[in-house]
Structure 1
Amino acid sequence: MPSKSTAQILLEKADKKANSSTGWFSSSSSKFEEAGDLYQQAANSFKFDKLFREAGDAFSKEAECREKCNEQNDAANAWWNAAKAYKRGFPDLAIQALSQTVTHLTQAGRFRQAADREKEIAQIYLQDQSDLRRACESFERAGEWYAQEDAAATANACFKDAADLHAELEEYQIAIVRYDEVANHSLGSALTKYSVKDYWLKALLCALASTDYVSARRNLHRYGQMDSTFPSTREAKFVTALLEALEEGNEEAFTNVVVEYDQVTKLDNWKTAILLKIKRDIQQAPGLT
């Protein structure tokens, strides 16, 4: 019979301690404190053996012991350690553990850290589960918490990620509002001002994708008033040329404009996808002129 690993022995000790009856002279609080310490040791030992599922499970049990002792900070840390272990191949469990962490952090008023963990949840939804809706919601929530903790740049990055996802979900009006907010925040700083034209380009492409050419023209004009250099940028000229092709219902002209722009400024996946969507709309509406 194979001998038990150190992690296994520690886990059994922890289980035994957690399930033991409390004697005359010890409190249930000290029982769970000791069990929590043993679960933590077992979890670290499983991690050392690269058994990440088992490590996550042991950290989760540690977290439950910390909760029973009313040690909220230690419980939050244990859930986070569980999440980090679960991230190695168990995204569902990682999200559950991170959600527990967030609950403890928000109850303790630690919204900055809660935002960090909520952003991790968003990234797991996006990268491991391709769940755009839930990723979007988590980015929004993280952004709001960062904003209320005066972490404006980090909040902006989350709102920009949320805007990208709103657009992918074809919620163009919400995306435009978010891009405008992010651009407005970025205009005020010399460090971030350079990225404004890209946010405005994305907002304008969302207007084109929703076939709202009147709003697109109006926003082009408005952005030019907010930043007098914008009308002379490649981005503004690109949208102007796209608008002309769309208003004429000229698919060939539209394609040429996109190809020319891409030769100088490589289009990323997001822009490529939305431009293909806009192009399909021309194909479906031949009688636009």
Structure 2
Amino acid sequence: MVSFYWKTTKMINSLSIHKFCASVCWFTYLYDISYSGDQAGSTYVKRANCHIKADSKHEAANAYADAAHCYKKTNTKESISCLEQAVNVFMEIGRLSMAARYYKEIAELCESDQNFELAIVYYERAADLFQSEEVTSTANQCRQKIAHFAAQLEQYQKAIEIYEDIARQSLNNNLLKYGVKGHLLNAGICQLCKGKGDTIAINNALEHYQDLDPTFSGSREYRLLADIADAIDQEDVAKFTDAVKEFDSMTQLDAWKTTLLLRVKDALKAKELEEDDLT
């Protein structure tokens, strides 16, 4: 396969621009059906460069994306580089929805590599472009990812603002309004993490959430946040645990919520131990 690659590369390098494009299309097809790693990716990059020279920018962007998908299996860094080149070309020709799509794909690659800081950067770029194209649902999917990772990285205020904003947007949408309580719960959990034992912020937030959605005060989500606030105020770890267990028995907590609530519990335990040391 390696010798075939170098022979074909040498041959197409000697062709005219139009024959070159045709040849590269054929050889990338051969690589697609026989080998889809670095060599196939490299050939797609050659194809993209050919289309750039021929001023076929849309085809060039697609070729960069194809190269990225080949590299994805073997070389994440190169895959991201090719996707960025695809984005640049799509931006240049005004195809913002395609650029947004590939920014989102880059973010997902960063997420897979657990590079959450960089994933946030690309999800933000994708969200901005999707919003500019009025693809609000996909923009909000990206924003929820941003909030999710921001909270993991202890950027709680950023996460709070996103969840509260999505909740506000969802209130007037019949399809989305049933998710409002979940967004407010996420925001409230972030408030608890941010407060580090200060219940003023969470109590103010709960009042605000009731103003946003009058039905929220009758929900399990509200009761969980209010009970945790009481437990923190009373410095009662057992009460905190009971509140979480009761909610989890009805609506299972996901890993993200569990992680953040454990942070709150650990802070409460530390405060309780500190009080014990002083007595």
Deviation, 1:194, is: 0.8
Matches within 5 A, 1:86-235: 86-127=71-112, 129-211=113-195, 212-235=198-221
Task: Quote the Cα distance in structure 2 between the aligned partners of 1:70 and 1:178.
Answer: 41
**In structure 1, the residue corresponding to 2:74 is in which secondary structure?**
coil
How far did residue 252 of structure 1 move? 1.6
- With normalisation by structure 2, the TM-score equals 0.92
Give aligned-pair identity as a percent.
Answer: 29
Residue-by-residue CA offset, 1:197-254 (whole Å, 9 max, x unaligned): 1111000000100125222111111111111111001000010001111111211211
- The aligned counterpart of 1:251 is 237
Alignment partner of 2:55 out of 58, 70, 73: 70
After the TM superposition, list the runs of 4 or more consecutive aligned residues in structure 1 that deviate by more than 6 angstroms.
none
> Quick one: which amino acid aligns to residue 9 of structure 2?
L
Kept after mapping to 1: 8 A contact 2:12/2:20: yes
Contact 1:115/1:142 (8 A) holds in 2: yes
Amino acid at match of 2:135: A
> Which letter maps to 1:195?
G
Aligned residue identity for 2:84: S
In the alignment, what sits opposite 2:14? 16
Please give the per-residue CA displacement for 1:103-148, whole angstroms capped at 9, x wherever unaligned. Answer: 1111111111111110000101001x11000111111111111111
Q: Deviations over 1:139-167 (max 9, x none)?
A: 11111111111111111111111111111
Structure 2 residue aligned with 1:20:
none
Task: Indicate yes or no: 2:251 matched with 1:265.
Answer: yes
* 2:187 maps to amino acid: A
Letter in 2 for 1:198: G
- Per the TM alignment, residue 288 of structure 1 is displaced from its structure 2 partner at its CA by 6.9
- Report the AA paired with residue 183 of structure 1: A
Report the CA distance between 1:8 and its aligned residue.
5.7
Give SS of 1:130's match: coil
Superposed, which structure 2 residues align to 1:30-69 within 5 Å? 31-69=16-54
Query: SS where residue 189 of structure 1 aligns?
Result: coil
CA distance, structure 2, for counterparts of residue 126 and residue 110 of structure 1: 25
Q: 1:54 Cα deviation (Å)? A: 1.1
The 2-side partners of 1:113 and 1:51 are apart by: 23
For the aligned residue pairs, the C-alpha RMSD in angstroms reads 1.9
SS of 1:88 mapped into structure 2: coil
Check conservation: 1:247, 1:288, Cα contact below 8 A: no
Aligned with residue 241 of structure 1, among 227, 245, 251: 227
Scaled by the length of structure 1, the TM-score of the pair is 0.89
Q: One-letter code of the match for 1:265?
A: T
How far did 1:174 drift?
0.7
Deviation, structure 1 residue 10? 3.4
Question: For 2:182 and 2:215, how far apart are their aligned partners in 1?
Answer: 13
Deviates more, 1:196-205 or 1:50-59: 50-59
Unaligned segments of structure 1, at least 5 residues: 18-30
Contact 2:64-2:85 at 8 Å conserved across structures: yes
Residues in 1 aligned to 2:232 and 2:99: alpha-carbon distance in whole angstroms:
45
**Deviation at 1:182?**
1.2
What amino acid is the match of 2:184?
Answer: W
> Residues 37 and 62 of structure 1 are in contact (CA less than 8 Å); yes or no, is this contact kept in structure 2?
no
How many residues matched?
273
SS at match of 2:14: helix
State the Cα deviation string for residues 162-196 of structure 1 (Å, max 9, x = none): 11111111000011111111111111211011111
